[in-house]
Amino acid sequence: MDKKRARVCIISFSNLKNESRVRRQINALRDRYEITTLGLKKSEVPGIAEFVISDKRTRFKKMRSQLTFLLSRIFKDWYPEYIESKYPFETVYEVLSEKKFDIIIAHSLDTLMVAYSIVIRDGGQILLDAHEYYPRQIEDHWFHRMFINPYKDFLCRKYLFKTDAMTTVSYGIAEEYNRVYGIKPEVIMNAPEYQKIEFKKVDPDNICIIHHGLAHPSRNLEDMLYLMPLLEERFHLTLMLVVRDRRYFAKLKRLAEQICPERVDFREAVPFDSIIPTISEYDIQLIIYNPTSFNVKHSLPNKFFDSIMAGLAVIVCPSPEMKRIIEEFDCGFVANSFKVIDVANLINGLTDGDIMKKKRASLEAARRLNAETEMKKFVRTVDKVFK
């Protein structure tokens, strides 16, 4: 098949403008294939066709769908009925009209259902990009354990083998899909586009730590605040947070004022394209997530790769995925445990020379850990689907 004429549809039930992983895939493929996207909002990447879908279900239909979902936990034969009631098959058919595609790239299990229905109707092949291990999506909440995770397992057992290729975000997640379902995904990490960042020396009397990302209770950001009174005065923390839960954010600010006044700054989040230049002003990125779920344990968050690109020394707890990369590239430090006291002992033992050595290693690692490298793997995966 002439790949320049092959038609690819990328589906994600999200605002594509804010989905860095999706946008990187679009940019990697658009000169090679004819690209169409389907999302809740457009990516605004030039040179492609884009369609927006909306949920046209009435309130009654939504309530009926929710009730069917709850009952399907007992009567598993009802899962297919729930799928029909939840996913916007008719809307998608209407939006895409008579368009046909050679391959559909589905982001998440939700869009896999839609992709499969299109392929049944029109033919084509499916690539699933799994952003996490869905059957254990959230494990510290009873409703997810009892209802949502068993449903995700049902979908995996029914539909994963119908895909022609699969990608995911980390090796631990890929190994679990292989162990449980016999599927071997290609790992495409969420590394950013390469940027040349100048090395910044460390002021030994004012070592600047940053943590950036979403302010959400599940991330236990309080641990970083409890850490600060245990650190020597030469260390200062900045939290640059995206605030969606204002009550939680207010709680963090109150806690900082109570236990570590004048040791923590709260900085407004910057636009996506400004993150790496902004955090390059700092010395250390601190990522100390407790492994509250399988996905958290095996996560490789965007901020991890942003920090390496920005030339920071990265400090993590012994999360296996981040630990593996830090040890391979010597670009940071790994605490002995997830306990705050062990993180404090690690940081207090660092000299400015230790930190600068890791900062230089990060800048070197960024030449390999970047979107250009990862998207070459992704393009090869897409190409194989057509062979």
pLDDT value at 322 more than 50: yes
Can you tell me the distance from the alpha carbon of 131 to that of 144, in angstroms, rounded to the nearest whole number?
Answer: 17
For the chain, give the percent of residues with pLDDT over 90.
71
Question: Is 60 exceeded by the pLDDT of residue 90?
Answer: yes
Amino acid at 200: K
pLDDT, one tens digit per residue, over 262-321 is: 999 999 999 988 999 999 999 999 999 888 889 999 999 999 999 999 999 999 999 999
Six-digit token string for 84: 């029909």
Q: Which of 36-45, 198-207, 321-330 has the lowest mean pLDDT?
A: 36-45
Q: How far apart are CA 101 and CA 36, in angstroms?
A: 9
What pLDDT sits at residue 219? 83
What's the CA gap between 365 and 136, in Å, rounded? 31
Q: What totals of helices (H) and strands (E) does the chain contain, helices first?
A: 17, 13
Mean pLDDT of the region 63-72: 74
What is the per-residue pLDDT across 93-119, written as a single tens digit (0 to 9) for each?
Answer: 888 877 889 999 999 888 898 899 889
Indicate if the pLDDT at residue 73 is higher than 90. no
* Most confident stretch, 67-81, 85-99, 100-114: 100-114
Q: Work out the angle at residue 164's Cα, subtended by the Cα atoms of residues 158 and 166, and round it to the nearest 5 degrees.
A: 80
pLDDT tens figures, 338-356: 999 999 999 999 999 999 9
For residue 81, CA distances in Å to 32, 106, 115, 148, 256 come to 38, 21, 17, 16, 49
The whole-number pLDDT of residue 1 equals 47
Pair of tokens at residue 155:
């979908």
Least confident of 33-42, 89-98, 101-110, 377-386: 89-98
Got the DSSP string for 359-381?
Answer: HHHHHHHTTTSSHHHHHHHHHHH
What residue has token string 């995996």? Answer: 156
pTM: 0.90
Q: Give the pLDDT band of residue 147 (cuts 50, 70, 90).
A: confident
Report the pLDDT value the prediction gives residue 380, as an integer from 0 to 100. 96
Span 252-271, average pLDDT: 95
Mean pLDDT across the chain, nearest whole number? 91
| pLDDT band (50, 70, 90) for residue 57 | low
The Cα–Cα gap between 4 and 215 comes to 43
Tokens of 323: 């630990």
- Calculate mean pLDDT across residues 10-31: 93
* % of residues, the chain, pLDDT over 70: 94
Question: What mean pLDDT is predicted for residues 11-40?
Answer: 93
Predicted confidence at residue 63, as pLDDT, reads 78
Angle ∠(14,269,13) on CA atoms, nearest 5: 5
Tell me, what's the pLDDT at 78?
65
Higher pLDDT, 54 or 196: 196
pLDDT at position 191 is 97
Query: 272 versus 257: which is more confidently predicted?
Result: 257
In this model, does residue 360 exceed pLDDT 70?
Answer: yes
**Domains by residue range for the chain, with CATH:** 7-53+88-191+371-386 (3.40.50.2000), 207-365 (3.40.50.2000)
Higher pLDDT, 260 or 139: 260
Residue 232's CB: how many other CB atoms inside 10 A?
11
